[in-house]
Structure 1
Amino acid sequence: MGHYLAKRLLLMIPTLVGILAITFAVIQFVPGGPVEQMVQTLTHSGLAGETAAAAPSALMRGQAGLSPEELAELNRLYGFDKPALERFFDMLVSFARFDLGQSFFHHQSVGALIVDKLPVSMTLGLWTFFLTYLICIPLGVAKAVRDGSRFDLVTSSAILVAYAIPGFVLGVLLLVLFGGGSFWQLFPLRGLTSDNWAELGPLDKALDYLWHIALPVTASTVGNLAVMTLLTKNVFLEEIRRQYVYTARAKGLSENAILYRHVFRNALIPLITGFPAAFIGAFFTGSLLIETLFSLDGLGLLSYESVIRRDYPVVMGSLYVFTLLGLVAKLLSDLSYLWVDPRVSFEEGGR
């Protein structure tokens, strides 16, 4: 196992570098970079005779146009005065030290930006993650035990209809129905907390928080129920039809004993092994459309704005963090097989 773990950790390095290299190469051919956007802003604002370093404070002074010296200063300011290959290797060195650089437009470090936006995405992601598991596993087990019954057909129809409705469409419907759009004003329209949240007591703060997240979490969760529920049902059905279940029944064991002592433990293996990836991924699953719809300033909105504004340090820094965590989550998922089933071997040939 130690050999396998070391090999996987070493393979993460070229995978991570390859993803960053492809993204960095694509960025070089995308028009409208930060220098071009600043030049356009300065030109339309009528700036001339000012250095690029002083440009933000002198947008409304001078004549139109930038001199070559000012254009060169802008390139130096944004780090584009170096060849692309040199900039890429400088970025890798900084990332190796977990220095994600400075945002072009937010004027703060990329790491601080991610940490600042993380609570919103954590709220959506973690609540969606826990509710999905808490609802889907019991529902999937119940459907497997009652396979083919009216309960199975009705619940399958309901979750498939919910799966077919996009999350943002459901969010709009919830706002119209319960957010004061046309019917009832039962839930707030935006934000995670009320304006007077700091003045509330501990219990009132918790209730206010749950009141605000009810609609966005519902919109994010409903569409995820179908896949996990049907996966749970199919896994349990496969286990229920195995020979050891018929043998246990022949020995006189009750259905509950067979289900919870034998079937449940074996059927949960494929579900538990996906737990690490789903848990880590929950921190970054905030939907851009859900965040925009409910005015939640999270990582989804940050990533979208950084792409539109060509804020390359934020694009590359967030990609680095997400990719690294994704690779770690995949490794933990593989290792969890050994934890839930000691018979699994990572050595070649199963030895």
Structure 2
Amino acid sequence: MLSFIARRLGLAALVALTVSALSFGLLFLSGDPASAIAGEGANDADIAAIRSFYGFDRPVIVQYGDWLWSALHGDFGQSYYFQLPVSSLIADRLSVTMTLGVCGIVFALAVAIPLGVAAAVRPNSIVDRLALFLSVVGQAMPSFWFGLLLIVLFAVKLGWLPPSGTQSWTNFVMPTVVLGYYAMPAIMRLTRAGMLEVLGADYIRTARAKGAGEWRVLFKHALRNAVIPVVSLAAVQMGFMLGGSIVVESVFALHGAGFLAWESIGRNDLPTVQALILIFSMFYIVFTFLADILNAWLDPRMRTG
């Protein structure tokens, strides 16, 4: 197990280094960053002064090394637009996105896995067709449209929930449903397919022949093996929720890190965009690494694969 963890950790470190290089390369993707900072009316002297002030006149590899070393110490530079340290700017917003992402994935797993199991146990039944219907609707309906529907119904018509803000836990109910509902279809279908495959295995028939109860067969023997690919998918979905929550945060006026990314892109705030891409990518890497470890614990065959 330790050798498996070491291999996965080394791979994660290589991926993180590659992502950091790509994140830094965004600074030069749109051309000369000094010209972008100076604006349209700047003259050559102003651009040269900005290039010297920010160190853009140094070799690129030196700039990358300094940026990476500072990033490892939590220093992502100064925001061009907000004129604040990028690290403190992201720290103020990240808690909202983290809360929304964790609540979203918990909601998706809590609904999708039981529905997937029920659909596999009763194929072609009403439950199976309901799960299929929810899956199709979840992928077909845009998240912003679903969010607006919930606001009109539960905030405007019924007045049960606040339409925006982050004052209390009630502000996160509708955004959680919207974000989690988008991840439900894939998790539900994968759970159903895995359970259908596992329920036909020999060891399931053996467990039933020995007199094991149906709940024990389903949740101890079958689900443990069927859930392995679901763990990997949930890790990817969790990373997506953190990095792709821009639309949901915009609809519900949740000023989290996703909304900050949208603001920074529109205002050409390159240091903030760089830092957010790097941080969101690190979330993907960490969640995938943890999913690999959990899968190896669930299925010992993966440790020697």
| Alignment partner of 2:191 out of 218, 229, 232 | 232
Paired residue for 1:176? 152
Are 2:34 and 2:47, in contact at CA under 8 Å, matched by a contact in 1? no
The alignment status of 1:114 with 2:114, answered yes or no, reads no
How far apart, CA to CA, are the structure 1 residues paired with 2:106 and 2:6? 32
Q: Distance in 2 between matches of 1:22 and 1:153?
A: 44
Q: Match of 2:242?
A: 284
Alignment partners' CA distance in 1, 2:220 and 2:21:
50
- In structure 2, which of residues 244, 261, 277 is the aligned counterpart of residue 319 of structure 1? 277
Aligned mates of 1:191, 1:32 — CA distance in 2: 38
> Given the two structures, how large is their TM-score scaled by the length of structure 2?
0.87
Distance of aligned partners of 1:11 and 1:144 in 2 relative to their CA distance in 1, 3 Å threshold: closer
Q: Residues 3, 172 of structure 1: CA spacing in aligned structure 2 closer, same or farther, 3 A cutoff?
A: same
Greater relative contact order (CA < 8 Å, ≥ 6 in sequence): 2
Letter aligned with residue 16 of structure 2? L
| Selected match of 2:124 from 130, 148, 151 | 148
Residue identity opposite 1:176 in structure 2: V
Contact 1:129-1:282 within 8 A present in 2 as well: no
Aligned to 1:74: 50
Deviations 1:87-144 (A, max 9, x none): 2222122223332222122222222122110121122211111111111111111111
In the superposition, relative to structure 1, how do residues 146 and 75 fare at CA in structure 2: closer, same or farther (>3 Å)?
A: same
**Taking every aligned residue pair, what percent have the same amino acid on both sides?**
32
Alpha-carbon offset, residue 299 of structure 1: 1.0
Taking a change above 3 Å as real, the CA distance of residues 248 and 339 of structure 1, as seen in their structure-2 partners, is: closer
Say whether residues 1:213 and 2:172 are aligned partners: yes
Cα distance in structure 2, aligned partners of 1:260 and 1:12: 32
d(CA) in 1 for partners of 2:207, 2:7:
42
1:222 aligns with 2:181: yes
TM-score w.r.t. the length of structure 1 is 0.76
- 1:258 aligns with 217
Give the whole-Å Cα distance in 2 for the aligned partners of 1:211 and 1:249: 45
Q: Distance in 1 between matches of 2:87 and 2:69?
A: 16
1:168–1:293: 8 Å Cα contact kept in structure 2?
A: yes
Matched letter for residue 120 of structure 2: A
Name which one, 1 or 2, has greater alpha-carbon Rg.
Answer: 1
Give the superposition deviation at 1:297.
Answer: 0.7
Alignment equivalent of 2:62, drawn from 86, 97, 105: 86
- Cα gap change, 1:294 to 1:10, in 2 (>3 Å): same
For structure 1, list consecutive stretches of 5 or more residues without a partner in the other structure.
44-64, 194-208
* Distance across 2 between alignment mates of 1:260 and 1:14: 37
Coordinate RMSD, CA, aligned: 2.7
Matched, 1:186 2:160: yes
| Residue pair 2:105, 2:183 contacting (<8 A) in 1 also | no
Q: Distance in 1 between matches of 2:231 and 2:15?
A: 25
Structure 1 residues 330, 265: CA separation in 2 closer, same or farther (over 3 Å shift)?
closer
The CA distance in 2 between the partners of 1:109 and 1:176, in whole Å, is 38
1:136 partnered with 2:112: yes
Tell me which protein shows more helix as a share of its residues. 2
Deviations 1:137-186 (A, max 9, x none): 11111111111112211332133223210111111222233332xx4443
Q: Which residue pairs with 2:257 in the alignment?
A: 299
| Equivalence for 2:268 | 310
Question: Cα distance 1:36–1:328, how it changes in 2: closer, same or farther (>3 A)?
Answer: closer
